[in-house]
Amino acid sequence: MTPNPTPSSPGLPPTTAANVPPSGAFRRHMQSVFIGGFVVLIPLLVTLYILSFIYHFATGFSYPVAQWILKSNVVGHVAHIDTSRAAGYLAPVLAVLLTAGFIYLIGVLSTFVIGRQILNALDRFIENLPLLKGIYGTTKQVIGVFRQSGGGAGFQRVVLVEFPRMGLWTIAFVTNEITDTSRGEKYVTIFIPMTPNPTSGFFQMVREHDVRNTDWTVDQGIKIVLSGGLLAPTELNFGNTTPPPAVLEKNNLPRP
């Protein structure tokens, strides 16, 4: 004998798998598949976006020159080929080559005495312009710091600060240490990156005992910011007010 299904409530048909609407199962299937595909595509889309930004930034001045060269068939007269018809396809490649050649030429020029004198004269000219000298000088100093410190070493360590208000903890990178000679207090200058673009953020100067040190490396901190916290460790000691031993040894600081 087949047992009678128990109705879910009086007057309603029994709830069984056969009574599930096909549209509901199809909707759940499409939703899970769509979300899964979107998650897989996110890294690829972000990578393509960054590459596209770098390409347009690097070839902003060389792309019009490449188009003019191809459309005027300058190369064609030398190589005896017609490049004007393929200008739309060859222009991006030629623009990249022109940019790379220009950068290489500047590098070669800086290795000679006359070339360095020309670049220094151009440098002084730009630094004397009213609108550009502030931006140019600051950018030059930042690039110089990163070159001397080997790139990412410009960030001394990863810390946590209460930002933008008390009770909210944010990842920050310590860039320098300053001593207040009038009170004898130590301050740290920190850079607070934004998610998902860590190249922009906020500069703050806070007292050293107001930050919480972590044992994360700079690479780990950047990955945590880029991932929006998805790659953050599952454990953290919020009471840690002293730098980890690795940071102390790196900066020749005494252990507590």
Q: How many domains does the chain have?
A: 2
Q: Between the CA of residue 239 and those of 57, 200, 213, 242, what are the distances in Å?
A: 44, 28, 9, 9
Residues 195 and 243 in one domain: yes
User: Which phi-psi region, left, alpha or beta, contains residue 150 (left: φ > 0; alpha: ψ -120 to 50)?
Assistant: left
Contact 204, 161 (CB under 8 A): yes
pLDDT at site 189: 92
One pLDDT digit (tens) per residue for the chain, 256 residues: 445 554 544 544 554 445 545 667 878 878 888 888 888 888 888 888 888 888 888 888 888 888 887 777 665 555 555 555 666 677 888 888 999 998 898 888 888 888 888 888 888 888 888 877 777 777 776 666 555 554 445 688 899 998 888 888 999 999 888 988 888 889 999 999 887 767 678 889 999 888 998 888 888 888 888 778 888 888 776 655 555 555 555 545 445 4
| The domain boundary residue, chosen from 97, 127, 149 | 149
Q: What is the pLDDT of residue 151?
A: 46
Q: How far apart are CA 204 and CA 188, in angstroms?
A: 8
pLDDT value of position 15 = 47
Q: Please give the residue range of the domain that contains residue 185.
A: 155-250
- Determine the distance from the C-alpha atom of residue 190 to the mean position of all C-alpha atoms in its chain, rounded to a whole number: 17
How many angstroms separate the CA atoms of 245 and 37, rounded? 43
What the block records as the tokens of 58 is 């690097």
User: What pLDDT sits at residue 172?
Assistant: 92
- Residue 16 falls inside a structural domain: no
> Is residue 167 domain-resident?
yes
Residue 160 lies in a domain: yes
pLDDT at res. 256: 47
CA distance 96 to 66: 9
- Measure the CA–CA gap between 25 and 30, rounded to whole angstroms: 9
Peptide bond into 164 cis (omega under 30): yes
**Token pair 């030398």: residue:** 78
Are 138 and 188 in the same domain? Answer: no
Amino acid at 18: A
Is the residue at 143 inside a domain? yes
Examine the fold and report which residue of 125, 149, 173 is the final residue of a domain before the chain moves on.
Answer: 149
Does 228 reside within a domain?
yes
Q: Are 155 and 176 spatial neighbours (Cβ–Cβ below 8 Å)?
A: no
244 in the same domain as 162 = yes
Which residue shows structure tokens 């998650």?
39
In a domain, 206, yes or no: yes
214 in the same domain as 162: yes
Give the CATH number of the domain where residue 226 resides.
2.30.30
pTM score: 0.45
Classify residue 23: in a domain, yes or no: no
Among 90, 123, 149, where does a domain finish? Answer: 149
Q: How far apart are CA 248 and CA 86, in angstroms?
A: 60
